[in-house]
Structure 1
Amino acid sequence: MTQKTKSSLRTSNLVNSIQPSGIRKFFDLASSMENIISLGVGEPDFITPWGVREACISSLERGYTSYTANAGMIELRIEIANYMKKQFQLEYDPKEQIIVTVGASEALDIALRSIVDPGDEVIVVEPTFVSYAPLVTLAGGNPVSVGTTAETNFRLTPRQLKEAITDRTKAIMLSFPNNPTGSTMSLNELKEIAKIVEEHDLIVLSDEIYAEMTYDGKHASIANIDEMKDRTVIISGFSKAFAMTGWRLGFVTGPSDIISAMLKIHQYSMMCASTMAQHAALEALQTGMEDVKKMVQSYKQRRNYFVKSFEEIGLPCHVPGGAFYAFPSIKNTGFTSEEFAEKLLLAERVAVVPGHVFGAGGEGHIRCSYATSLENLKEAVARIDRFLVSFR
């Protein structure tokens, strides 16, 4: 009788195949150093508005500490539906087409697990947030990278999409405004993508967490296009626009059949999102939009300064249309993006994220968050300039 050979590892081969986040490496190194200016953190530097925090405190004082419905408080789902209609002209049934999730990250995870069968291919448009491809893998699918470039301002072209589609393609993941590039796509550009999506009967997972942070014109969702709403799942939340990263509260909207499937996973893995956070989010939607406008205006001012400054010190940088990241090219330095980030951190105590961690097309760039004070940005630019001069 042949004895079965056990793996020397106690953890699954699937999990072992996934690399840790490339962002974390630089955060860990920077945390051990003094006098650091961090341009790496992907979260607002604003504190959650007081009215939102007060709503959370009040909910605790009134004893709202039990579970909510799996999909979230119906009051909050109704308010999310109102928000989506008013801000983006998209109508969703709060009872059947909306789930409140534990951050947008959970929404992405359960969306993929609800549609992907083993071997299905999911197109991941890169550069993009580091979790997308690993989440596809964890769902049993095969991520297919499509790398955009600075020449197209990191927008997806119809030709790129067509070339990536096979008979195994199930879905495409979009992220506009984009992390890390800040790029956006217009409604006309998305219409060209939508034609191909419909032709091949694909599902779209559209991460629109930065939708409110669209600086030039109005945010365009692919779900706004005729026939696309029924094949698009929108991932969003409160972390970025409402400065609520630590609250871990997101939401997802989409077709009833996909939302129903996602709810099955959500109810077994999470039960429901934090009750207190949901009360805070309800207040954010009802009274917090003026705070959002003020924060977005501040980000736009910082963006304008930051991009101009990068150009002046010799690092070409496209103008990001949204989010709060600049993605300058460092190709003219002769360093790889990882070499540049490491040398800059050690020499000048400025923490940035090397572009290659965000996938194809990211190499030769660095991600710099301008979600920090203008004073910090000015000092960071001065240090980066000094670093560049030392190697010229």
Structure 2
Amino acid sequence: MNRLILAVAALGLVLGSVSLSQGGPILIGAPFELTGDQAAFGTIELDAVRFANELRPTVLGRSVEIVAVDTASSASESSNVTQRLIDQGVVALVGWCCSRGAIPAAEVAQAAGVVSISVTSTNPQTTLVGEGDPRGSFSFRVDFIDPQQGGAGADFVFNTLGGRRVLVVRQIGDAYSFGLTEFFTNRFIQLGGEVNIQDVNEGQTDFSAQVAALQAFNPDVVYSSAFPPQSGPFIRQARDGGYTGPFAGGDAILSQQTVDLAGADAILTAEGTANVFATSPVGAADVGSPEAQAFLQAWQARFGDNPDPFETLGFDAYNVVIQAIENIGPAFNERSLAEQRVAIRDALLATENFPGASGSITFVDTDGTPRNRVLGVFRMDLDAEGKLVSGGLGTLVATAGG
């Protein structure tokens, strides 16, 4: 408990003091993927938003209430629940692990003039939905984007893993998977590599056709932009089909769910070293700033383990919005709901060098994607119990950006 108090005190110095006075709660909508194939990420990001709210529950003398809803990992449901949250009077929206739901929800929020800030939607379109709107864009994120992630992944596969022929597993109907595949493939071909794309469906369990294509193509590396419910079983079946080479993928595969569905023996080589790699945001432990260390200490005291990058970014997404409200000042409380929503957008656009747990966040002169986000490449090393080491991250083997 003492460690938690110290950590919260340290965060208070960074995030600013909070005054207490009368006033109704400020509502922050939190639409996350709590069920469906993206739930492994949405649930932990919501946990992080709620934890951030525990540490900073008030702003400008008013309590902040998180209104959480489930998008069911569905584009249509994400749009529907976003509209319901807007109708309930939220001043801003913080949510979405994934582009499938974030992009259509951002369109709904843009039409209503409400800020949407995605935790880990990496498709560029997420923050471009307001292009051409004379009011300006209301869409933000705190993560990197897939041109950076796909390019870094291709560089790693080509230069570090030595891959020249890559089979790519792409998930049909998913904006993240299609976007990441495009950026990875374009860069890999530019480097001189050859790509074979195999499509899979959400909910698919039999990958015999794709494994047969793998065997015929004989790749050096298999790269997956699909989510754990598809990537995990595919890894298992590819191993059973005789493939012994490395797997790589985007941040969607960096999950214990991938490991559990594939089996630890499919992740590890015969020597016990992981042969699966993923690009991902770096964790707070790798950021090393005072703010990151304060968050790390508070999280460890509260949960007894290390936060992973998705949780770190969820924490930052909440705090950057609350700090924007703080920066508006007492006049925020005198404004109408519509005016408050615009003021939050304007304050975010003026945000420069916000000291987040994931690193510095700047929205000045951007399209809503922060500048200089650091990306890591992680080897999915496991402990003796088959769990990803370093708080679910694996081992950092390379970085890009910053």
TM-score by length of 1: 0.32
Structure of greater relative contact order (alpha carbons < 8 Å, 6+ residues apart): 1
